[in-house]
Structure 1
Amino acid sequence: MGFAVISNPPKKVLLMAGVLAAVGHMSRFALLREGVGIASASLCAALLISLCSMPCARRWHIPAEMFAFPALLPMIPGMFAYKTILATMQFLGATAMSLRQELLVDIVYNGLTAFFIMCALVIGAVLPLLAFHRESPLVRGIRKLRRRGSTEG
């Protein structure tokens, strides 16, 4: 909730963003316990948060992003990014070749993990918002099919 306060949202948005963040974290944690990778679990959690933010947005007439983005902030992979920077700094000061190789592995592993988690969060947050927005091609196609069905029957 602390991250959400930065953008100064209305209190009802803040409370719902906290609930969505809790739902997202619980789902990601459950998936991680089942052996799903952290990037895949983050993608599923971000999709869930984004999908759940849409009914809230309709109910309170506020953009869904106001609910989804603050709820996603706690899932940003800060520890992986920190470990990447730390290993990079140690790599620059290391002289032993074996230590440099070990640090290089840490840099690549933590950096790629942070990158893929961030990509998963972005894709999971944006995909439902684009797909189910009123003016998206998917929603327009569904409306068109409904109109055809109601005129034929």
Structure 2
Amino acid sequence: MIRQIVLAFFGSVFPAILFNIDRKKLVWAGISGTLAWISYLIVFNYGGSVIIATFMGAFVVGVYSEVMARRLKAPSMQFSIPGIFPLVPGVMAYNTVLYIVAQNYDLAYSSAMKTIIVGGAIAFGMMLSSTTYKFFSKIQRDIETKKAAQNKIKEMN
């Protein structure tokens, strides 16, 4: 399991290097993939399906990338894109092609559908995390604005 986590880290750092992300942010991009894989393993090992585990991994990456984007003043894509690399269903896609070549169309169809659904789970997890983060940030900003206005009114009286 530790080996998988280390490989997830490097599986996120190397694409970040390929995408020419600032060297100071490479470790943070690697942590994104590590968190994705850890959350994937936790959900999968406790009885979750591959789809739910992938969704949770993508959701964690999305929240992490939004937080780190604010802290490091960088686009969230610098953390989210490398972070989802460990979750991409490459083996499933390979198996789909392998089944097609072997003319086993029933397994090919099943594998293709699972690959598409896992890809959709990644997209949905990223979208939902971004929307959720922005929603709670707006609520927090509104509360802070309201408190500042109330303090200003108190100072005037």
The bucket for the TM-score relative to the shorter chain is: 0.7 to 0.9
Amino-acid identity (%) = 20
State the partner residue of 1:119: 120
Instruction: Return the structure number with greater helix share.
Output: 2
Give the CA deviation at 1:3: 2.0
TM-score, length of structure 2 as denominator length: 0.77
Distance (whole Å) between structure 1 residues aligned to residue 39 and residue 69 of structure 2: 21
1:55 match: 67
Name the count of aligned residue pairs: 139
CA drift at 1:147: 4.2
State the match for 2:133 in structure 1: 132
**Higher-RCO chain (CA-CA 8 Å, sequence separation at least 6):** 1
Alignment match, 2:82: 70
Given the two structures, how large is their TM-score scaled by the length of structure 1? Answer: 0.79
Structure 2 counterpart of 1:4 = 16
- The match for 1:32 is 44
Distance 2:100 2:76 in 1: 38
- Segments of structure 1 that go 5 or more residues without pairing to the other structure are 92-102
Query: Are 2:65 and 2:76, in contact at CA under 8 Å, matched by a contact in 1?
Result: yes
Q: Which whole-Å CA distance do the structure 2 matches of 1:13 and 1:112 have between them?
A: 35
* Cα distance between partner residues in 2 of 1:140 and 1:27: 26
8 Å CA contact 1:64, 1:129 repeated in 2? no
Cα distance per residue 1:111-151 (max 9 Å; x no partner): 11111111111111122223434xxx665465446545665
Q: Which one-letter code corresponds to 1:107 in the other structure?
A: A
Question: Structure 2: where are the runs of 5+ without partners?
Answer: 1-12, 152-157
Q: Does the aligned pair in 1 maintain the 2:96–2:112 contact within 8 Å?
A: yes
